[in-house]
């Protein structure tokens, strides 16, 4: 025969009630036993049946099956052999249910924690996704779950580079890092983040030369923790090995969520399976020093968390500044920017430790400027990105809120060596999905906005600038003036 296709259509769904007993739902299943053989004029016979489900029984009623050839029971798999396979499948399902029952209270504790996670699993650990998503409250914890199974899918996840070995500690750690970066983009500031990765080599439908092994890894603000184990080869089915990987994934997530996992729940057999190897790569002892050394891209302070090397783009509004000192005008300006951006945008301050004209800030000075944000529990990200094109690479899709003086410099071609250089820079910003909100200020007795500044027609076409209205924000004092007032007050004392 030529290729066969199964077309399932829910034509009618109806309850029949008689003496308070539900007969069940009627589903009409239409099956096309042959596709067009050689041309569009070829016959396409249809086989139909009705499947009644109710009272714990199934009844398959064929319609004119003799006319249309093969009985629908055969096409649906209702043969004696298939029923035997289904009984075996029921045993496997029962085993999966046992795993779920043992882990359900622990999954509930994960969902009750403040942590949010992204999970990427390849080669195994797939049952863990079902267990985690089946327990109520999963939406509080699970931000995203993906199975990049094909080599190309895994390579795309890891930035286009395929791993040399799919089931290894390095691959699992790279997957966990990718998950952590995604979690940073999806979760709000101040939430504990966990990126979970799973990389396995399990039993399959052919003889496997290498070891059967499970590697799970978790990336959090505390660093990266990895569990790796070799399984006894040929001792378990694929489903049973996947259950072990899934258990390890859930237990590692439980640990990262702050709950010590109970012993003996991995499903491993001592003496038959290998010992679990535990690897831990801690977070930098001094993340700001690592930033100055160029080892990390960003250090974020929010909600008591220190998130290292996970800059967040997307629907966020950043207020860059020196914050020397941080004052109420900064708070008002960021709040006005968030209101102007709309759409549930989050606000965050950004301190760049590098300046094209002044060089790098000393470590002690950076810590001094960061301290007020920590004490006030205000989101701040510290970066080494003095130019807005640098910032756009860190925060694609973000909005930057700036004052009038900065806005005027941004649209001045002299700062770019000419108009062509300026357009190239702003085209790069536009490609990253970034834009600007510009606040006005008093200049020579008049309140001025970016509308008072001549901007080239080409730059206007990029549509990157929006003015914050005077009604929404106006502050007639600068950080420099506040700093001078503070210095004068100190001198009088």
Structural contact between residues 175 and 167, judged by C-beta atoms closer than 8 angstroms: no
Q: Closest Cα to residue 124, out of 88, 195, 194, 175?
A: 175
Q: Please tell me the predicted confidence (pLDDT) of residue 485.
A: 60
How far, in Å, are 352, 353, 354, 355 from residue 358 at the CA level? Answer: 12, 10, 8, 5
Structural contact between residues 141 and 256, judged by C-beta atoms closer than 8 angstroms: no
The token pair at 93 is 């399902």
Q: Please tell me the predicted confidence (pLDDT) of residue 85.
A: 46
Compute and round to an integer the Cα radius of gyration of the chain.
30
How far, in Å, are 43, 144, 397, 430, 433 from residue 315 at the CA level? Answer: 54, 17, 7, 15, 10
How far, in Å, are 208, 232, 335 from residue 271 at the CA level? Answer: 22, 9, 61
Structural contact between residues 47 and 30, judged by C-beta atoms closer than 8 angstroms: yes
**Phi and psi for 158 in degrees, rounded to 5?**
-95, 25
Residue 50's Cβ-side half-sphere holds a number of Cα atoms within 13 Å equal to 12
Q: Closest Cα to residue 413, out of 404, 425, 398, 405?
A: 425
Distance CA 215, CA 232 (A): 15
Q: Closest Cα to residue 353, out of 319, 304, 320?
A: 320
Distance CA 373, CA 288 (A): 15
Distance CA 424, CA 441 (A): 28
In sequence order, what are the residues at sequence separation of 6 or more whose Cβ sits closer than 8 angstroms to the Cβ of residue 284? Answer: 290, 295, 296, 308
Residues, the chain: 493
Structural contact between residues 318 and 432, judged by C-beta atoms closer than 8 angstroms: no
Structural contact between residues 348 and 318, judged by C-beta atoms closer than 8 angstroms: yes
Question: How many CB atoms are located within 10 Å of the residue 345 CB?
Answer: 17
**What are the start-end ranges of the H helices in 257-327?**
287-292
Determine how β-strand 46-54 pairs with β-strand 193-201: unpaired
The token pair at 216 is 């799970």
**480 CB-contact burial (10 Å; exposed 0-12 / middle 13-18 / buried 19+):** exposed
In sequence order, what are the residues at sequence separation of 6 or more whose Cβ sits closer than 8 angstroms to the Cβ of residue 125? Answer: 198, 200, 214, 216, 242, 245, 246, 248, 249
Distance CA 225, CA 429 (A): 36
**422 CB-contact burial (10 Å; exposed 0-12 / middle 13-18 / buried 19+):** buried
Per-residue pLDDT of the chain (493 residues; tens, 9 = 90+): 344 444 444 433 333 333 333 333 333 333 333 333 333 333 444 444 444 444 444 444 444 433 334 444 443 443 444 444 444 444 444 455 677 888 999 999 999 999 999 999 999 999 999 999 999 999 999 999 999 999 999 999 999 988 988 899 999 999 999 999 999 999 999 999 999 999 999 999 988 889 999 999 999 999 999 999 999 999 999 999 999 999 999 999 999 999 999 988 999 999 999 999 999 999 999 999 999 999 999 999 999 999 999 999 999 999 999 999 999 999 999 999 999 999 999 999 999 998 877 789 999 999 999 999 999 999 999 999 999 999 999 999 999 999 999 999 999 999 899 999 999 999 999 999 999 999 998 888 889 998 888 888 999 999 999 999 999 999 876 556 655 665 665 555 5
């Amino acid at each position: 025969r030529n290729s066969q296709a199964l077309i399932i259509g829910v034509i009618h769904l109806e309850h029949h009630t008689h003496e308070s007993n539900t007969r069940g739902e009627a589903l009409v299943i239409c099956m096309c036993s042959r596709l067009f053989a050689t041309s569009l004029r070829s016959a396409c016979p249809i086989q139909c049946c009705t499947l009644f489900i109710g009272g714990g029984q199934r009844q398959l009623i064929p319609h004119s099956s003799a006319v249309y050839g093969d009985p629908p029971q055969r096409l649906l798999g209702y043969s004696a052999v298939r029923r035997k396979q289904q009984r075996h499948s029921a045993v496997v399902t029962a085993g999966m249910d046992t795993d779920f029952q043992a882990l359900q209270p622990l999954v509930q504790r994960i969902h009750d924690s403040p942590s949010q996670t992204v999970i990427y699993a390849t080669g195994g650990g797939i049952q863990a996704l079902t267990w985690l998503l089946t327990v109520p409250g999963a939406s509080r914890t699970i931000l995203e779950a993906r199975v990049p199974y094909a080599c190309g899918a895994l390579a795309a996840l890891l930035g286009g580079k395929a791993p040399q070995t799919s089931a290894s500690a390095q691959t699992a750690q790279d997957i966990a890092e990718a998950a952590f970066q995604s979690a940073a983009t999806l979760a709000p500031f101040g939430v504990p983040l966990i990126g979970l990765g799973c990389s396995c080599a399990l039993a399959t439908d052919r003889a496997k030369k290498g070891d059967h092994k499970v590697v799970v890894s978790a990336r959090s603000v505390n660093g990266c923790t990895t569990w790796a184990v070799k399984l006894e080869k040929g001792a378990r089915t694929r489903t049973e090995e996947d259950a072990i990987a899934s258990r390890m994934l859930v237990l590692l997530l439980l640990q990262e969520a702050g709950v010590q996992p109970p012993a003996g729940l991995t499903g491993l057999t001592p003496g038959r399976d290998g010992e679990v190897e535990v690897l831990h790569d801690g977070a930098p002892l001094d993340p700001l020093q690592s930033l100055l050394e160029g080892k990390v891209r960003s250090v974020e302070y929010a909600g008591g968390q220190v998130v290292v090397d996970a800059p967040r783009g997307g629907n966020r509004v950043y207020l860059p500044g020196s914050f020397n000192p941080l004052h109420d005008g900064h708070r008002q300006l960021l709040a006005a920017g968030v209101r102007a951006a709309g759409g549930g945008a989050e606000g965050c301050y950004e301190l760049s430790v590098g300046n094209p004209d002044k060089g790098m800030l000393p470590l002690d000075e950076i810590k001094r400027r960061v301290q007020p944000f920590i004490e006030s529990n205000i989101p701040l990200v510290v970066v080494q990105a003095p130019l807005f094109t640098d910032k756009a690479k860190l925060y694609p899709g973000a909005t930057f809120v700036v004052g009038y003086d900065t806005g005027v410099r941004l649209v001045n071609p002299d700062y770019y060596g000419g108009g062509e250089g300026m357009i190239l820079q702003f085209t790069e910003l536009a490609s990253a999905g970034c834009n600007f909100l510009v606040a006005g200020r008093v200049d020579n007795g008049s309140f001025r906005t970016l509308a008072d500044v001549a901007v080239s027609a080409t730059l206007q076409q990029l549509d990157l600038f929006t003015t914050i209205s005077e009604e929404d924000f106006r502050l007639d004092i600068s950080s420099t003036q506040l700093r001078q007032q503070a210095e004068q007050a100190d001198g009088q004392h």
